[in-house]
Structure 1
Amino acid sequence: MSIGNSPESPEDDRNFPADDRDSIGRALQQARVAAGLTVEEVSASTRVRVPIVHAIEEDDFSRCGGDVYARGHVRTLARAVGLDPAPLVEQYDAAHGGRPAPTPAAPLFEAERIRPEPRRPNWTAAMVAAIVAVVGFVGFTMFNGTSGQAGPQSVAEGPAPVTKTTAPKPKPVKPDPKPVPSESAIAAVPADKVTVKLTATDDKSWISAKAHDGKLLFDGLLLAGESKTFQDDERIDLILGNAGPIELYVNGKKIEDSFEAGQVERLSYTKGDPQAG
């Protein structure tokens, strides 16, 4: 009898749960125990609150705040205890009506995006056209007056000296000076503060932002197309409930981390070159 191949090996139980595979909470709990981790240690590493970790291990997802956040918690906890999150997320989707569909942007934002801006009248072109018309009329009048007076005097007195009349040239219209490009609001962030800007690109996300002293700056939904900017003297702590659609700028620099839809991210940023905490 080979002890290493025994079906009761903790390594096999951790990666291939047998009778309990239909229970997500039991699979996470067994993997955590096999890894020698406490609930508090898992909570500290994932930043998922201790009561929520306990509830998920008891297959109670009511405290997660919805399917999107529950899927994100399952994925985060599975990685923390060394499990492949994909089968557990698929198991959750199968038990809760499938993967949640992305929420379309509100019609109000669609109407605002397609509304054309009113065209401004081109006063410069109108002034040039008026000047050309006046100069042409004056030249035509002076030419006709000179031709009418030269006819009767040419027989008795000889040819009259021809006086050349030069129509006044229109003053060149100076083009409007090119506007000096201004620095963007993000590029001009103050160096003595930490500035964070979040934009929900194609889906909504729950956002929580706190200052370094624990003061709550924002706690709520950021709808698709909306942006929020936060500043603090030392540090800003973020929780992204649905990190996938979030575009993030910190101290004028875009954060290139690729977040997955439904993923819960807890981040901290300070002054200078952004480094996630």
Structure 2
Amino acid sequence: MSIGNSPEDERPFHDVSEQTRPSVGHALRQARIATGLTVDDVSSATRVRIAIVHAIEADDFAPCGGDVYARGHIRTLARAVRLDPAPLIAQYDAEHGGRPEPTPAAPMFEAERIRPERRGPNWTAAMVAAIVAVVGFVGFNAFKGGDGGSDAKAQVAEGASPAPSKSSSPTPEKDKPAAPSSAPSDSAIAAAPQDKVTVQVSAPNGRSWISAKDHNGRMLFDGLLNKGESKTFQDRSKINLILGDAGAIELYVNGKKIEDDFRPGAVERLTYTKGDPAAG
């Protein structure tokens, strides 16, 4: 009988601790079940999404987004189920190639650089647009005002004499005869300018519609001449008249009365120049 080690004692020693040690995910799952917590409870306590908790317990660390995040989730979950996180993190590093290198900062700064810059409102463009709008509005009003002024001036005869006003009376006009219109005095005839044509239109016998234009066709007057009223028109070369009721009208051209026998109710179209009193 030999004294010494038996053949069984010379068999190679196997460390079964590595084979029996559970994986990181399995250890976390067993600890969670032992503490009576559900996946929802752990997710609510750690703010780690339920899908990531399930993946880690199945030893699938891809949803974590990298080793740094995986280590952080392991540490958080281990504390939630009352495990020491250090052995689990060391086991994770051993199974996944050691401690991960720190994430380089360059991609983060690059993402910050390409982030679109938020710009404020372009006040210069707004001011230019406002100035253009104001200038356009002022020009439009000035244009309209100029047209209105020319229309108003067109209806005022050159050198028109004020029409004699009739005193109001309760007596009807047909009961009181109108005072006859007096002919222009010698001084008025002498005062008629020789370089212009002057036409005075009076309505001593009733009212009549009249229209008067200058040599350019510009309207000097277009309206009703009431009984007893008169209008005087001047132009440097020609006056064109339309009388709606020529029989109610008396005409004085260049200070001289026109003796034409106009019929009542007749419409007359007349033209007078500097050389008249003859109708053109």
TM-score where L is the length of structure 1: 0.35
Instruction: Return the index of the structure with the highest Cα Rg.
Output: 2
Q: Larger relative contact order (C-alpha < 8 A, sep ≥ 6)?
A: 1
Higher helix share: 2
TM-score where L is the length of structure 2: 0.35
